[in-house]
Amino acid sequence: MTHQPRRQSSQLTFNHYTSLFTYKYKAHAFVMCVKGDWAFLRSAFLMTSGWSSEAVCWMCSATKGSAGPEMAMTNLSGDWLDTMFEQDPWLTPPALSLLQGFHIKMVAPDTLHCWHIGHGRDFLASVIVHLAEAGAFGDGGVPLALKEATRSLRAYAKAHKLQQVKVPLSRESLEWHAGVYPHLNISKACQVGVVHKWLAHLAETGLIADSLIATAVWSSHMFLDTVVGGSNFLTQEAASRAHAYGMLYLLSYVRLSTTALEARQLRWFIRPKFHMFHHIVLGVQHRASKRNPHLDAVWMDEDCGKSNEAFTNYPSSAAVHPNTSTVPGGLAWEALLTLGCCQPITNSLWGSCASGLK
């Protein structure tokens, strides 16, 4: 009988994790952050607010407009800013909220979900539609303009050794139809990022003649560039720059959206994830620890989660026990990915982690 060599993996799998808790080791862990898509967070924390509710946010009392303009999520300096973390977003405390040291500030919106597969796709599609209409890709009509835009995008990606965007830019992929807002229908977040970099390149080379749109493209690109290239804990200087870039983008976008609305144009859509992106920008400046919000994005975690079928089998917080050592299944995976593990926790260590990461 021959023994197969034990398979080595550089990635901690779900089975590794469960065996870690079940059979061999006593693990010590503490919560640093709970992250994931909005549907997961809403389910796990029994949130009464959300994208489909009038109250949109788990961090503040912003609404879609029913509580007046001062509480509207589109009001960048509204009164909702004074309500952050004042109220719990649930009626009944969810199990995860009972974890030692947990604070709702540890539930973080992230750039992947809020920008790359969220609000950013509204923005980028509206920019491309504007450029095609303005003749930036030639005057031969929309089909030829989008064909030239696709060629330009792919040439840029090749020249900069970026992932190719396989879906051509077209009326379908931009959801450019009468009666609806444009939306970049590209599912791969990484490729959405390539489109963003390409448009920033066009802005820098002067192809985007509208100064407000060029400002929005440039400032959003600089915000993401600053946090993606930043250290785990941003310096005060980097945090201030990122905050300035982010706020410049938000102000530019709201102005574009307002102007389009007054002209009765369906452009520059504002969805609740725009508000979540606003919180990310605010957090860069207001987090005492200056923890980089890029750490909250779940690029690698989601890929890993897809390979573990069990991850998707725990959609309800009902399955979660508040004791970290016995948290089972998918929610545990999501939560524990952001735990610091395998060293005894002293009160001083716990205190420094809990206070520093909020």
**CA nearest to 304, candidates 38, 39, 16:** 16
- Please say which residue, 156 or 249, places its beta carbon nearer to Zn ion: 249
Q: Cα(256)–Cα(69) distance, rounded to whole angstroms?
A: 18
- Please say which residue, 50 or 329, places its beta carbon nearer to Zn ion: 50
Strand ranges (E), 26-151: 29-31
Q: How far is the CB of 93 from Zn ion (least distance, A)?
A: 20
Among left, alpha and beta (phi > 0; psi -120 to 50; other), residue 85 is left
- Please say which residue, 21 or 274, places its beta carbon nearer to Zn ion: 274
- Please say which residue, 60 or 239, places its beta carbon nearer to Zn ion: 60
Q: How far is the CB of 76 from Zn ion (least distance, A)?
A: 12
Name which of residues 153 to 172 contact Zn ion (CB under 5 A).
none
Residue of minimal Cβ distance to Zn ion: 57
Q: How far is the CB of 57 from Zn ion (least distance, A)?
A: 3
| Phi, psi for 30 (deg, rounded to 5) | -140, 150
Is the Cα dihedral 60, 66, 67, 73 positive or negative?
positive
Q: How far is the CB of 59 from Zn ion (least distance, A)?
A: 4
- Please say which residue, 37 or 210, places its beta carbon nearer to Zn ion: 37
Site string for Zn ion, 51-90 (x = CB under 5 A): ------x-xx-x----------------------------
Size of the site for Zn ion (CB under 5 A): 4
In this structure, are residues 281 and 77 in contact, taking their beta carbons and an 8 Å threshold? no
| Phi, psi for 253 (deg, rounded to 5) | -65, -45
Distances (CA, A) of 196 to 101, 131, 190: 38, 14, 10
Residue 108 is a binding residue for Zn ion (CB under 5 A):
no
Sites of contact with Zn ion (CB under 5 A) = 57, 59-60, 62
